Amino acid sequence: MNTPNPSASIESPGSTTDAYVQIRGLHTVLGDKVLFDGVDLDIPRGKITAIMGPSGTGKTTLLRHITGQLAADAGEIRVDDKDVPRLSRKQLFDLREGIGYLFQNSALLTDFSVFENVAFPLRQHLRLPEEIVRNIVLTRLQAVGLRGAAELMPAELSGGMARRVALARAMIRDPGLMIYDEPFVGLDPIALNQVLKLIRTLNDTLGITSILVAHEFAAVRRAADHVYLIAGGKVAAHGHPDELAERDSPWTRQFFGGEADGPVPFEYPARDYAVDLGFPAGAP
């Protein structure tokens, strides 16, 4: 199948000093798969930018590049005007201390209470009096509506509650950059709306910069200020969610419309089916 070039009609983001994260010419190959082939994107300060794309596109890998967990094969990655690939180990750790990360599965520590889960980053990285730790933790739990659940254990929480506890923990050190990796997965509509409202409210209230990786376009449309659609190793489209919803391209029609047929193939590349079944190549 000949896949159209997703970036054929898309202009690269313009250079801007207002970008908290700036990526230029990103190239990444994992195994025999090209994940990124010259990707350019800007994450503006104080805004929520969504990263979307088909499964296997490399969205989580992109987050690992931004946080310095994985080196790209080529390209420039700057976070808060720091050249991530060139940072020393200590400089990289210092950078990460300013980043909050909400994991796909919440990643709560099962043997710790809600309070201790949220307090964990403070206890690991800072030497604070217990009274100050208590006040900070309760403030964060109040912000996500779970101050009354401080003594519960993770096993006693619903999926939505666990996600909100994880959000309180991610926000505990007032990060300049928040990363949400699939925050809506497995949530019922009520819990999804709660988390969605929290993400938008926290961003507007605290003025932080947020990167949101998600598949749910209806939720992204309500939360994000800007969307990048990544497919085929390129930026297939980018813009305001409402603008992308109206854009008439095969990539936006298939992804945002949920169409089965389009530039993203259903079948993974494979050799001749007849050969796998033990017949001569080309056999009917």
Phi and psi at 75, nearest 5°, equal 120, 165
Q: Does pLDDT of 189 surpass 80?
A: yes
Boundaries of every domain in the chain: 19-247
Confirm if 230 and 38 have CB atoms less than 8 A apart: no
Provide the mean pLDDT of the chain.
83
Domain spanning 19-247 has what CATH number? 3.40.50.300
Confidence tier at 17 by pLDDT (50, 70, 90): low
SS (H, E, C) the chain: CCCCCCCCCCCCCCCCCCEEEEEEEEEEEECCEEEEEEEEEEEECCCEEEEECCCCCCHHHHHHHHCCCCCCCEEEEEECCEEHHHCCHHHHHHHHCCEEEECCCCCCCCCCCHHHHHHHHHHHHCCCCHHHHHHHHHHHHHHCCCHHHCCCCHHHCCHHHHHHHHHHHHCCCCCCEEEEECCCCCCCHHHHHHHHHHHHHHHHHHCCEEEEECCCHHHHHHHCCEEEEEECCEEEEEECHHHHHHCCCHHHHHHHHCCCCCCCCCCCCCCCHHHHCCCCCCCC
77-92 pLDDT, tens digit per residue, is: 999 999 999 999 999 9
| Rounded average pLDDT over 104-123 | 91
Q: What angle do CA 128, 130, 136 make, to 5 degrees?
A: 75
| Rounded average pLDDT over 43-54 | 91
Confidence tier at 76 by pLDDT (50, 70, 90): very high
Q: What pLDDT is stored for residue 282 in this prediction? A: 61
Within 8 A by CB and 6+ apart from 202, the residues are 143, 167, 171, 178, 208
Instruction: Write the single-letter amino acid at 217.
Output: F
| Rounded average pLDDT over 28-46 | 91
